[in-house]
Amino acid sequence: MRQTRLFAAALAACVPLLAFTASATTSSPPRPSEAAIKTENARWAEAFARGDYDAIGRLYTEDGALLPPGGDRIVGARAIADYFIKGYAGAMPDTVSFSNLEVYGDDRIVTEVSDTEIRDHSGKLKSRGKQILVFLKQRGVWKLHRDIWNSGAPLKSDDH
């Protein structure tokens, strides 16, 4: 009988702890929507493929920043659009694809880590790279806030 009382007392002591753990787990913020981030990536890729660099600029926060390899920080949606306009002026638009997506964050801020491939208009691979993007949700819309990338290994002749 004494063992039963001891067991019951130990069980009773654990119940509040279990209840607290369960409520803490269920009230934690929801995982970010990977689908929403993929949608933003698709918007970026579609604008890039159209050569609509003003549209790309609108996908960033007003104080968003590009951190390009070997270059200075580019700050502000307008400056970001200008960066792409100057970088691709007169060229036929390329296409970009994103893969190996990793998404971390909550319903306000998300970090994406992914790989990229850029192809010319004929489909020839021009470059591979990797990137880290930070998205902020502003007025219910995901916007790019920080964008840093670097190149992958040099392409071999059989990559083209």
CATH at 45: 3.10.450.50
Q: What's the number of domains the chain is made of?
A: 1
In a domain? residue 123: yes
In a domain? residue 87: yes
In a domain? residue 1: no
Note the pTM of the prediction, 2 decimals.
Answer: 0.75
Output the pLDDT for position 112: 96
Query: Where in the sequence is the domain holding 113, given as residue range(s)?
Result: 34-154
The span from the CA of 83 to the CA of 66, in Å, is 9
In a domain? residue 133: yes
Model confidence at 158, in pLDDT bands (50, 70, 90)? low
In a domain? residue 104: yes
Tell me, rounded to whole angstroms, the distance of Cα 69 from its chain centroid: 18
In a domain? residue 7: no
- The predicted model gives 59-64 an average pLDDT of 97
The span from the CA of 58 to the CA of 132, in Å, is 19
Beta bridge partners of residue 155, listed in sequence order: none
Output the pLDDT for position 21: 39
In a domain? residue 12: no
The span from the CA of 41 to the CA of 51, in Å, is 15
Q: Are 34 and 42 in contact (CB under 8 A)?
A: no
Question: Quick check: 64 pLDDT over 90?
Answer: yes
In a domain? residue 24: no
